[in-house]
Structure 1
């Protein structure tokens, strides 16, 4: 969704955009060894990027995800053509094979700044030692040959927390810029008649849906609707009954955000920059979120929402009760949330930030070519 939104934004402002993508369904036709080699260095991707540079002659290549099929060979193909590369870091894969710093339901930073060999022994990626070994080999190879330090002109971190984690993990600080995700606000917020809460997201352990489920019996009066799908769907359906709505289209989700008093985001992992927060702010909806990682940067406690202790159902229940019992204060937070959206997360503001980053990357590329 982020990639599609950025492509549409660029084209809206008159830029030519060529899209290069590979679909993971191709893995079904590959042997395990071929898939492993491709994740580390894809000859196909390098050749196709080289050909695209011949035909399209890009001013900049903006990369969102190379794992597993495209591989970091893309960066070297760009360097061969002397095209600057901008890389958006949507997760923490370059530091943690699992990408979210979570192990056994708790934050784990054991691999920051180190070769993540522990992930193989612990089967961190998809509970597989073999697949974890492939990611570790990819990271080791490209750290050793300087791919991540030297072949990416500018990194885009989605917030300060993510930027600081990547710098702690060894990426060069001078190559980072911060640009959050954005959404198009469909309607102007309606401030009156709001009630109840809303959860929107994947129904999986790292998203903290289990924390929300455990908090429900501890609240005095909580009418919370749950939107989403995932492996914990059956448990959520049992806990929320008719208030479990399943997967719904974005238009309907935004409508529900415009009617709710608050949204709950109880993640127990390091979220990077959830679009749901930006969508909520666009609808004038304050957020009750875990005081964890980037969530504590995005949600200002008592201003645009409330923060609670991570993985603490009792504290979450207390914050939900407070929100239900203080509608005027929550309405003020909703106004502040919309003001935050207008200042930080609109398409126009995002376009300005993206152009600044592209121009910086292009001018840096020119200086490096002259120096060479």
Structure 2
């Protein structure tokens, strides 16, 4: 199959970027004819502000470029990962004009929420879900700017009214059932949204888990629950050391915590090999997120090395983590409950080991490259069938 995989690299979108690369490698590994087309938000710095705003709504130049790429490659499928902000939703029409079916992976909630997170002022916010996104402008949800938020809101309203999201995409990929339900509530056609999780390729296998520490890996930002994490360890003291990997706007708070709280160590950014080694030796991973996580790669990587996960009982995490089988859950934003679950895990090493075994087995069955490729081919087939029916011709094979 000939597939054009398209991605708009975006600041702090590390998870999306790694999934894009992994899926390209997966398709190539199974012998598909793959071409990639990428842009970076670095281009915005060279673009006048009004022009950048107009292109966010509808970038005609990028639509024409996608048409050219499809025709030059003979692509049957164009698989978009992120189109915001440079590519714009105009690229869907560009792909179809070239003769290809359109697939869009929904890594975040940007089509329904200006900041893509359903998170505002330290809590979950669904004020714009299924509604005109006026609250997003009022609360300056995108980049803390009313003007920038208005541009994103205008993009959403314009393309909803034009039917772009409903008619311009042949198949959507949601990462979890929880996310799928939110997209349906936001107006996307239910029959066109398939669920396909992220996957782990090339993991090092189970570790020992005997390093004697808990581990956090992720962006240091409010929606990730970093403040709750630090407050919990203020209660725990040196009961169990905590190693923190990552960077972000809350780095100063983490730096202070590492200097003042016994047992807390900040390791900064680490490469994937370093993260996996830390995971192999950790007692468990902590995912204290306070937004509706998509499907964190850190979760799959942890399970892929047999590491149980202590996560917040919120959104998809509450459904993905099975307490006592692959990890434990605590009440999101509740530092006392997080500390209590940490104490329990520390005091039950045999149960931790069993959870790690269950997590590894799950990763090998549900989140393997082989299973992911099967799911992806089913989605591509459905997209081709719908595209062929819309054109009044048989789907290409």
Deviation at 1:191, TM superposition (A): 4.0
Deviation at 1:155, TM superposition (A): 0.3
CA contact (8 A) 2:39 2:86 kept: yes
Residue pairs, 1:246-325, within 5 angstroms? 246-325=268-347
Deviation at 1:317, TM superposition (A): 0.2
Deviation at 1:5, TM superposition (A): 0.6
Inter-partner Cα distance in structure 1 for 2:360 and 2:209: 15
Residue pairs, 1:168-179, within 5 angstroms? 168-179=185-196
CA contact (8 A) 2:104 2:173 kept: yes
Inter-partner Cα distance in structure 2 for 1:146 and 1:78: 16
Quick one: which of 218, 230, 233 aligns to 1:201? 218
Residue pairs, 1:1-372, within 5 angstroms? 1-191=18-208, 193-219=210-236, 221-241=239-259, 243-370=265-392
Structure 1 residue runs of 5 or longer lacking an equivalent are none
Equivalent position SS for 2:172: strand
CA contact (8 A) 1:185 1:282 kept: no
Equivalent position SS for 2:75: coil
CA contact (8 A) 1:299 1:306 kept: yes
CA contact (8 A) 1:158 1:181 kept: yes
Inter-partner Cα distance in structure 2 for 1:80 and 1:113: 29
Deviation at 1:17, TM superposition (A): 1.2
CA contact (8 A) 2:70 2:99 kept: no
Structure 2 residue runs of 5 or longer lacking an equivalent are 1-17
Count of residue pairs brought into register by the alignment: 372
Inter-partner Cα distance in structure 2 for 1:357 and 1:192: 37
The structure with higher relative contact order (CA 8 Å, sep 6+) is: 1
Inter-partner Cα distance in structure 2 for 1:33 and 1:188: 50
Equivalent position SS for 2:33: coil
TM norm structure 1:
0.97
Inter-partner Cα distance in structure 2 for 1:132 and 1:357: 33
CA contact (8 A) 1:185 1:279 kept: no
TM norm structure 2:
0.91
Inter-partner Cα distance in structure 1 for 2:71 and 2:189: 30
Deviation at 1:185, TM superposition (A): 4.0
Inter-partner Cα distance in structure 2 for 1:153 and 1:292: 30
Q: For 1:200-225, what per-residue CA distance to the aligned partner results, in whole angstroms no more than 9, with x for missing partners?
A: 00111111111000001222612111
